[in-house]
Structure 1
Amino acid sequence: MAIRSRRLSKDNTYDALKQKIIVSELEPNQPVHEENLAALLGVSRTPLREAIQRLENEDFLIRQPNGRLRVASVTLKEVEEIFHIRSMLEGYIARSAAKHATEKDIVNLTTMITKMKHSFQLGDNQNFVTYGFEFHDYLSEISELRTFEKVLNQLRDHSLRYCRFVSMHGDWNTQADEEHDLILQMIAEHNEDGAEKAMRDHILSSLSTALDRIKGIEDKLEA
């Protein structure tokens, strides 16, 4: 029981710390110190150090030459790489989802789209991102492409971090809402070519928005 409790504590610490980075509660490039993080999370040093090591391995935390830690930067180069890889992987996932989707799947996807539309209309950018990722995750599940899904999961939280960062600094445009509609339409019609193209176009459009937003933020900081 003690071993299981320790594992839960370690995993919970890792999840909590990663979440604070993803939502920018711990901001890009922010210096972090073990004692402050331990107090923030209400944990002891042992699970915290294990969590830090995992997040260093995943490039959410950076160990500087002087040994000090900082939160990973938000960079144009990284977001380009992540979204281009996503466009290729998720395009093929959408193709496979269009092949395998059942009527029940279409109903579930439609419900997710409805939630996205509602949050978009309310200007609730963070929930718009949350429901958007649920939509994408569901497509991965029904695609039956397990290796694709595993590879994509390695990028998922970094991608989510960028989307949440972008949402904190402005609204998504109506195009993103319309793009999800088209993806769903292609999947409902079992149009594999159309689903793949619609998904790739959507992710590359999101990349363009992210690049513009990050450049705008950098310009303000330099001004």
Structure 2
Amino acid sequence: MRTRRLSKDNTYYALKQKIIDSELEPDQVVHEENLAALLGVSRTPLREAIQRLENEEFLVRQPNGRLKVASVTLKEVEEIFLIRSMLEGYIAKNAARHATEQDIHQLKAMIEKIKYSFQLGASQDFVSYGFEFHDYLSQISQLKTFEKILNQLRDHALRYCRYVTMHGNWNTQADEEHNYILQMIADRNEEGAERAMQDHILSSLTTAVERIRGIQTARED
């Protein structure tokens, strides 16, 4: 039973990661036999993984019964980032209230990784370290319900960020924005931290919308 559970979970996470990383591209039609071969698993854990990903709307069952990867849409990215701006703004406010000196030190270390990846032009690493920074703020905010709701959006947001960086550089202001958020938290400026986080996420939304529109226009030409 334990081996089966691990196999089922590993299949789910592996398939989800391929969607997040756009190894399985938006709107791509997928077949169970091909996915089973790709992941090196049997059909039983694969079907359970597919069902979970359908429920989370990473995979979509079409009227003809075929399965495809969920689309990338302007409407969805706008909704995701607007919700994140509200939730994470309040999370940053509470992180400024509760952060310890050790937390500040940890956040500074994360900022250094973000800066380094930005300087190297390693855009996917930049996205990963940025999410690590955001995740840590959620943990120290002590807002468990906020964190739980945010986790339901996290991987969808990550998918959009990775998709955008595949087609050009990420928001060039993001490096400075992370620094400013950390400064507000270190200064215990709760209102400033909230505004800084909201501005950062809305700035990222602008980048994502512009990039997705550009991708869509290029494909139509």
TM range (shorter): over 0.9
1:13 aligns with 2:11: yes
Aligned length: 221
Match of 2:127 in 1: 129
1:38 aligns with 2:36: yes
Query: Where does the alignment leave 5 or more consecutive residues of structure 2 unmatched?
Result: none
Pick aligned residue for 2:155 from 136, 154, 157: 157
Moved >3 Å (runs of 4+): none
Match of 2:89 in 1: 91
Counterpart CA distance in 1 for 2:207 and 2:195 is 18
Match of 2:77 in 1: 79
Aligned-residue sequence identity (percent) comes to 78
CA contact (8 A) 2:171 2:203 kept: no
1:142 aligns with 2:137: no
Match of 1:208 in 2: 206
TM-score normalised per structure 2:
0.99
Counterpart CA distance in 2 for 1:60 and 1:96 is 31
Deviation at 1:172, TM superposition (A): 1.9
Query: Where does the alignment leave 5 or more consecutive residues of structure 1 unmatched?
Result: none
Residues 110-137 of structure 1 show CA distances to partners (whole Å, capped at 9, x for unaligned) of 0000000000000000000000000000
Counterpart CA distance in 1 for 2:170 and 2:83 is 21
Pick aligned residue for 2:105 from 104, 107, 130: 107
Aligned AA (1:91) = G
Match of 1:48 in 2: 46
Counterpart CA distance in 1 for 2:139 and 2:56 is 23
Aligned AA (2:98) = H
Match of 1:28 in 2: 26
1:166 aligns with 2:157: no
* Greater Cα shift, 169-178 or 54-63: 169-178
Aligned AA (1:6) = R
TM-score normalised per structure 1:
0.99
Counterpart CA distance in 2 for 1:103 and 1:67 is 54
Residues 38-83 of structure 1 show CA distances to partners (whole Å, capped at 9, x for unaligned) of 0000000000000000000000000000000000000000000000
